[in-house]
Each structure stands twice: as C-alpha cells, then as structure tokens.
C-alpha cells in the first residue's frame, strides 16, 4: 500500500511550456485533490474530484486543468507555465465525505 504517489518530485520548466503532474493512489479513495504551497504559506486548494468523471475548482484554479478518468489517478496539467506557478504541489485523497485526508510527498516545480 503506497498511499498517495506523486511524480515527478522535481521539475524545471520554461515559461510557456506545458506539463502534467501525476498523482496516483492505491487506497480506492473516491475523493482526490490538488493543493499548492508557496514559501511560508499554508496550502491552497487548486482542484478537487469527488469521483471518476467529476471535478471542480478550488480556491486557485486558474492556469490548471484536471481530469479524473479512473478512481486511482488525478493528473494536474499546467497549460502554459508561468513563473507565478513556481510552487510545491501536493496531491491528496480521502475515502469519502468526512474521512481523513492523506497527502503525497509533494512535487517541486520551478518555472523560469
């Protein structure tokens, strides 16, 4: 049981490039979400999903796309990277409403 797995752990992008951060969980959790954390700040919700085929926006969704074609995977796409998207990204999952949320180890993204 690996929990929540994120790849890549580190990535450097040039402004305007696109990329996908991968997130997979092996706990059969219905709910998954993406957060970003900027230096000295708490985490902020980007997008979330309450099940396969269902996604919705969080607090800071601009510049990001998500999809949920399977229960296990919840990729986060940066459409055209900007320096303001330099951050640490955390994927999370929970079994359902009210259940404890578990986080991955993070993906460090730098946009130059």
Partner 1 sequence: DAKTTQPTSMDCAEGRAANLPCNHSTISGNEYVYWYRQIHSQGPQYIIHGLKNNETNEMASLIITEDRKSSTLILPHATLRDTAVYYCIVRKLGGQGGSEKLVFGKGTKLTVNP
Measuring CA to CA, how many Å separate 33 from each of 12, 16, 17, 105? 22, 24, 23, 14
38 binds partner 1 (CB under 8 A): no
User: Omega of the bond prior to 61 within 30 degrees of 0, cis?
Assistant: no
- Of 45, 52, 60, 82, which one interacts with partner 1 (CB under 8 A)? 45
- Of 21, 23, 24, 43, which one interacts with partner 1 (CB under 8 A)? 43
The nearest distance, CB 102 to partner 1, in angstroms, is 7
109 binds partner 1 (CB under 8 A): no
25 binds partner 1 (CB under 8 A): no
The three-class DSSP label of residue 85 is helix
Output the six-digit token pair for 58.
Answer: 């969080």
C-alpha radius of gyration, the chain, whole number:
13
In the complex, which residues of this chain contact partner 1 (CB under 8 A)? 4, 31, 33, 35, 37, 40-45, 48-50, 54, 56, 58-59, 88, 90, 92, 94, 97-98, 100-106
């Amino acid at each position: 049981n690996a929990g929540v797995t994120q790849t890549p752990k580190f990535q450097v992008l040039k402004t305007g490039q696109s990329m996908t951060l991968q997130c997979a969980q092996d706990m059969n959790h219905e709910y998954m979400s993406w957060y970003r954390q900027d230096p000295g700040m708490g985490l902020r919700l980007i997008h979330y999903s309450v099940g396969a085929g269902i996604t919705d926006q969080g607090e800071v969704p601009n510049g990001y796309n998500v999809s949920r074609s399977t229960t296990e995977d919840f990729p986060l796409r940066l459409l055209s990277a900007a320096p303001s998207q330099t951050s640490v990204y955390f994927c999370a999952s929970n079994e359902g409403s009210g259940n404890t949320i578990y986080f991955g180890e993070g993906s460090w993204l730098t946009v130059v």
